Amino acid sequence: MKVGRRVLATLFAAAIAAAPFAAQQAVGQGKAPVVKYKIVDEDSIPESLTGKPGDPEKGKKWAIAGRLGHCIACHVMPVDQPYMGEVGPSLVGVASRYEAGQLRMLIVNPKVINEDTMMPAFYKADGFHRVRKAFVGTTMLSAQQVEDIVAYLMTLKEEEKD
């Protein structure tokens, strides 16, 4: 049922995008104030948010986990999962297209790069509407979880071709 899955994927992503911050902020992994970071060349955060490298194994878990990144709701990834959305581009080989700093920027706040994107800002604690009181001032991912996901994405290199 390919068509059915695609329709479902679209509905699901639309629900995520439209109802964002009741459901999504509910995660509330990180606390405000968010750590200060510097954007370089308008599309990159070259320095680790925590000053430490991320753990790619954990990053893979956060990227799949429904209550955390849930990147697979919108992106195909090279993982063994029954459901993956196709709202955003496939993340297969993404490390061959982006530098770590650019990936960090995209996860922290993709709206800096594309104001109209459906992708949520995972490390942003203000400027949201309709946030449940308990989650005011929280970010969807903690700084360390962002770093873990960056580390995981950096392992997704395009396979070498001869």
Residues that bind ligand HEC (CB under 6 A): 13, 16-17, 63, 69-71, 73-75, 87-89, 91, 94, 97, 103, 106-107, 110, 114, 117-120, 122, 149, 153
What are residue 139's phi and psi, to 5 degrees?
-110, 155
Instruction: Choose between 88 and 137: whose C-beta lies nearer to ligand HEC.
Output: 88
DSSP 30-88: EESSPPP---BTTTB--S-SSSS---HHHHHHHHH-TTTT-GGGT---SS--S----SS
Closest to ligand HEC by CB, 70 or 124: 70
Q: How far is the CB of 39 from ligand HEC (least distance, A)?
A: 16
Question: Cβ of residue 1: shortest distance to ligand HEC, in angstroms?
Answer: 22
DSSP type of residue 123: S
Q: Which residue number, 111 or 137, has a Cβ lying nearer to ligand HEC? A: 111
Q: Which two tokens stand for residue 52?
A: 């430490």
